[in-house]
Amino acid sequence: MREANDLDFKNAVRPSGVTLVDFGATWCPPCKALLPVIESLAAEYGERVSIVKVDTDESPETASSFGVMSNPTVILFNDGEPVEKLVGLRPIEVYRTALNRYV
């Protein structure tokens, strides 16, 4: 899992393939609850999916540019373009189903 900010976000998203970006904040309880889910997905998908974490407090420009209005928000990118946005904490199956559409 890679951390990205306003300065290096564009380099963090794969230009080809799938990238899952987890937008959250350190003070956010649902974001903390999402972390084991994201770690499980990272282990399950391995190199097939790049996982990026963005702190919305430290990277407000990136969060704003993708319409992130609440934490956590997960955005899936396929070939560098945003294709799905999942707002709020969801069961792992929801993330898995979304990823499977692109992997």
Catalytic residues: 28, 31
Residue 78, burial from CB neighbour count under 10 angstroms (0-12, 13-18, 19+): middle
Q: Are the C-beta atoms of residues 34 and 96 closer than 8 Å to each other?
A: no
